[in-house]
Amino acid sequence: MDYKTIAISDVHLGSRGCKAKLLLNFLKNNSCETLYLIGDIVDAWKIQQNKWYWHQSHTDVVREILKKAKRGTKVVWIAGNHDEFLRPMIPYNITFGSIVIANQWVHQAINGDRYLLVHGDLFDGITRLAPWISFLGDKAYDVLLAVNTKYNWWRHKLGFGYWSLSKYLKHKVKRAIDFMFQFELNLANYCGRKNFDGIICGHIHRAEIKQLNGVVYMNTGDWVESCTAIVEHDTGLWELIEWHEIKHEDSVDPKPHSC
């Protein structure tokens, strides 16, 4: 498909949880004028934890993005908390090839609406004020992903579809729901004060498009579980793409990983 804009986030290249093969398939089958990489594209935290994992498919994703940029797609990489090594480079206008690096970006849609693009970690009180809690949460998330991967390997063998434990917990546990709602509210209220029509972000791994306090809230989700992207059609319509559903047969790694 050809789109005006594609936005993805939370790919976590360098981690075992990254669904790089699915992302590569998505990138090869979809083109756009502008590609936004909205943070946590590379998981530098895994280097700190000595859990760096780099498969050939991760390299292939990087090559595909660079190829798109070389062929004329405008690519903007917005820094997140897992790839915050980019942030010191931003004042010096350092680029990777023709890929622009930024902390935030403003996208003007076809209808003239202005959207603020940020990863979202700076609106997350835990990440901003108590990063050690966020770090522990990341380790717990790795354990959940490892359990989930092995569970889905057996489901796949038995002919059942993919099921996400961590996604289920996020939608059912009250504290997680309260945290995500407050995160969304913080972003929407900020955009309202700054006269933006909408926000496009990532960070919490929960893909969504909705109206919130008069602001269009869009979250790109992730490429660890949900495998989602936000796209802008040439008509101006925004859509949430769930590539996991489209390419279900590739959604489960043939071999279970350890955490």
Q: What's the pLDDT at 180? A: 75
* 169 membership: H or E segment, kind and range: helix 165-172
Supply the mean pLDDT for the chain. 84
Compute the average pLDDT of residues 167-180: 59
Question: How many domains, the chain?
Answer: 1
Instruction: State which residues form the domain around 118.
Output: 2-250
On whether residue 239 sits in a domain, the answer given is: yes
pTM of the model: 0.79
Pairing of strands 105-108, 114-117: antiparallel
On whether residue 75 sits in a domain, the answer given is: yes
On whether residue 257 sits in a domain, the answer given is: no
Name which of 102, 98, 96, 95 is nearest 79 in CA terms: 102
Q: What's the pLDDT at 249? A: 45
Find the CATH number of the domain harbouring 198.
3.60.21.10
Write out the E strands in 82-171: 100-102, 105-108, 114-117
Number of alpha helices (DSSP H) and beta strands (DSSP E) in the chain: 8, 11
Name which of 106, 81, 51 is nearest 202 in CA terms: 81
184: how many CB neighbours lie within 10 A of its CB?
23
On whether residue 97 sits in a domain, the answer given is: yes
pLDDT tens string 36-55 = 999 999 999 888 888 899 99
In this predicted structure, the answer to whether residue 25 has a pLDDT above a threshold of 70 is: yes
239: how many CB neighbours lie within 10 A of its CB?
11
On whether residue 256 sits in a domain, the answer given is: no
Name which of 73, 62, 60 is nearest 31 in CA terms: 73
On whether residue 36 sits in a domain, the answer given is: yes
Q: What's the pLDDT at 250? A: 46
Greater confidence, 65 or 121? Answer: 65
On whether residue 255 sits in a domain, the answer given is: no
Q: Say if CB 68 and CB 30 are below 8 A apart.
A: no
Compute the average pLDDT of residues 216-236: 96
Q: What whole-number distance in Å separates Cα of residue 65 and Cα of residue 63?
A: 5
Residue 185, judged by CB atoms within 10 A of its CB (0-12, 13-18, 19+), counts as middle
On whether residue 57 sits in a domain, the answer given is: yes
pLDDT band at 169 (very low <50, low <70, confident <90, very high): low
